[in-house]
Chains A and B, each alone.
Chain A
Amino acid sequence: MTAVTEARTGASSPEAEVPARPRKGAVAAWASRQYWPAYLYLLPGAVFYVLFVLGPLGQTAWISLFRWDGLTEGRWAGLDNYRDLFHDGRIPSALAHSLVFVVAYAFLPVALGLVLAGLMSRIKVRGLTFFRAVLFLPQILATVVVAVSWRWIYDIDGPLNAALRAVGLGGLTRAWLGDYDTALPAVAVVGTWVMYGLCMVLFLAGVQKIPTERYEAARLDGAGPIREFFAVTLPALRGEIAIALVLTITYALRNFDLVWNTTAGGPGTSTTVPSVFIYQGAFITREVGGAAAISVCLTAVVLVVTGVVMRLVRGKED
């Protein structure tokens, strides 16, 4: 990153030999550096990417400019769908719920994963592979399975309430997913449980590539376990943390299946997220244009947020 930035400032700075039309010069220079036949190798992948990723993406953006019931001829709406979106009272609360999910699906799992990775890398655990596999398990389960299991755990007669009653906290029992005050945190906890395994495995892999000399040096300098974690482990894991955050934040923002299969947005509207409205617009109320507009905005938000995270966490590295 630094090298490229320097090259560019170099080209546009007064000292440069070619002050006129610097941009064209830069492009030409860039073009002359390329080995064009190399792009042929990218072609098959690019075709699939265009067909199955960019195509649908463009199509969604295009449809978002229409009022369309998904069937009969659509009516040009320009940016009306987006304007409606900004006046839609349901969106702000849905975004607030999404923020809670970002904390629970991204920040908490990353923190937990770091703690676990720190512990596991320090202490010699017997059967580490086994524990790692078990802790990673939530990640490979189908979301619907996860949702149904947790619905049962949270049930009014479920194991969570049974455990509370067993320890004399019967006053706290409730239908966790059916209560206005607990539904959102309850769904959030499920997300933390699903995601921390992934973070942990990523970080464990990262820890293994840290040279042991660094730990030795830190210990020689008299660093305790906590100091060692912050001075050696954490900085070395910056790349992994960025990846983990991007994956988990994306999952949190586009979260749909967990919410739909546990609470369907309820009780009332206490757990709605933007994806719920996309689903409803596309499949239930047949306002495909409006649903496409939410999708486009959601994609933009995900790109911006992950872009910012990448820059913040990883920026200085390359």
Chain B
Amino acid sequence: MKKLRLTGAAGVALAGLLVAGCGVPGAGTTASSGFDGPRITERVTPEDVAKLGDTTLRVLADAGEEDTLNALVPLYEKKYPNVKVKVTTKGFDDLMKTVVNTLSGDDAPDLAQGNQGYGTDGPLVKAGLIRPLDDVLRTYGWENFLTDGTLKQWRWSAGGTIFGAGSLYGISPVTEYVGVFYNTDKLAKLGIEPPKTYAEFTAALDKAKAAGEQPLMLGNAEKYPASQVIGLVQAQNTPSRDIRSWLAGVPGSAITDAGTVDAARTVQDWAGRGYFGPGYNGISADDAAAKFAQGQGVFYVAGSWNAPSLQESMNGRVGFTLPTRPDGTRATVGSMGLGWHIGTKTKNLTASVAFLDMLMSDEFAQNLTDVGRTPVTGHGTVKAASPVVEQVNGIGTKLLADDGQNFYLDWASTTMYDTVGAKTQDLLDRRTSPEGFANGLQDDWKAFQQKQREDAAAGAGS
């Protein structure tokens, strides 16, 4: 019986293998070696688009873009009457898990949103699923208001192995960054002016603590929010260029610099002195925003995208600031919005380019503000509905001019999101030292860079 069972099991396993077909997984999709489709050399006109005849432009976007697209699509369909736009939106997690496979299918959308870094954009470029936009960038002059440092977030080598250099593969009209929200009632009660510099900010924290208030709200159950606090402090000490070089995997770069270690120590110190209140590792980011709105915490380090909802939940008793560096410039964790990409397989290239053109136009900037986004277009002509969103937009423009977008630490490798999150929780709980935190990130980076080199070598060998 036992023998029969064993042979049975072996037979079952063999049958399984046979059913699997034994082909190389992913055969037929080779790594991209370059793009040889049609190029854009002149601005696309409605007449160019009309040549496509009646057509449908299919767009795959993050659920957060719904309001933007609801504003954009009617304008677009009016200007280009032969094109019907069909929008599909998905929640962020869902989109990240499916966008690569959706774009590789036969029925791929014309335009889609990815996410900067090795997790999503990397595979899209590597498999040749999205088209370089260098020609579009040049034709439309977007370089005029986006710095080289900022554009690095969509630059890739043709094989998708090197990040931060090479062709441009994405674009976005909005920026998102981490800053400091404050409860205006509490500041007034404590007699603190909204801090402008980092020194003023830390002094305000100490003063709030001395007065018996919880200086900072933090909800770190998802592991990433505390790393953004570290990033905000890190930006005070470490040059943006160094951080971005490290994210891009430039050989010889390291995150173990004094500035980063110092930032880790500062935030660990804040946690130890109770600046974040109790139980922050068990509070979700959403709950943290809700608790801050209910009056827990004087300051709240969080993404600018929280401004419209905090404005509403706090009845306008909220302000926003980004502490400046000693030289008066600004830098922080932040990037442009999720990148828009044009699929390689699109048959509607001119219509797709026209879509990006409208999205990136100065005329559309006010619409973006109206739906609560922070446009980098519009050149200061837009007016926000509430003071806090106005503060977010104003600082966002200055941040861009200062070339202070440091991107997100988790872009550095496919595993970094997890590593940064776990190491940050370890750091705050004093289970690792500030040096241990930085070294942990560096080890992950090294392992990933090693793997990238091996992959590149194997790719060249085959």
Contact = CB atoms under 8 A, between A and B. Distances in A.
A59 B15 CA distance: 11
Contacts of A175: 278-283
Contacts of B414: 284-287
A178 B127 contact: no
B118 to A, nearest CB: 9
Given A54-B12, A73-B28, A268 B422 contact: yes
A122 to B, nearest CB: 39
Contacts of A71: 26, 29, 100-101, 104, 123, 126-127
A69 B281 CA distance: 32
A26 to B, nearest CB: 9
Contacts of B100: 70-71
A74 interface: yes
B136 to A, nearest CB: 25
B417 A72 contact: no
A3 to B, nearest CB: 9
A179 B429 CA distance: 9
A75 B27 CA distance: 10
B221 A72 contact: no
B30 A72 contact: yes
B426 to A, nearest CB: 5
B280 A72 contact: no
Given A74-B24, A268-B429, A288-B25, A69 B418 contact: no
A266 B421 contact: yes
Contacts of B283: 155-156, 175, 178
Interface in B409-452: 414-415, 417-418, 421-423, 425-426, 429, 431
A178 B279 CA distance: 6
Contacts of A66: 24-25
B348 to A, nearest CB: 24
Interface string B6-34: 00000011011111111011111111000
B26 A55 contact: no
A57 B18 CA distance: 11
B200 interface: no
Nearest to B104: A71
Interface in A162-198: 174-180
Contact of A58 (B18, B28, B127, B425): B18
B222 interface: yes
A178 B26 contact: no
Which has the most chain A C-beta neighbours within 10 Å: B20, B282, B426? Answer: B282
Given A175-B282, A176-B282, A62 B13 contact: no
Nearest to B459: A75
A284 B417 contact: yes
B123 A59 contact: no
B15 A50 contact: yes
Nearest to B432: A268
B17 A178 contact: no
Nearest to B19: A55
Interface string A268-288: 110000000000100111111
A62 to B, nearest CB: 5
B26 A269 contact: no
A283 B93 CA distance: 10
B287 interface: yes
Given A176-B282, A180-B429, A70 B26 contact: yes
Interface in A51-80: 51, 54-55, 57-59, 61-63, 66-76
B57 to A, nearest CB: 25
B34 to A, nearest CB: 15
26 contacts: A5-B1, A58-B16, A58-B17, A59-B20, A61-B13, A66-B25, A68-B25, A70-B26, A70-B100, A70-B101, A72-B30, A72-B123, A74-B27, A155-B287, A156-B278, A174-B279, A177-B221, A178-B282, A264-B223, A265-B418, A265-B422, A268-B422, A269-B422, A284-B414, A285-B414, A285-B415
Interface of A: 1, 4-5, 8, 30, 50-51, 54-55, 57-59, 61-63, 66-76, 151, 154-156, 174-180, 263-269, 280, 283-288
Given A72-B123, A286-B119, 7 more contacts: A59-B21, A72-B26, A72-B29, A265-B422, A266-B221, A267-B425, A268-B426
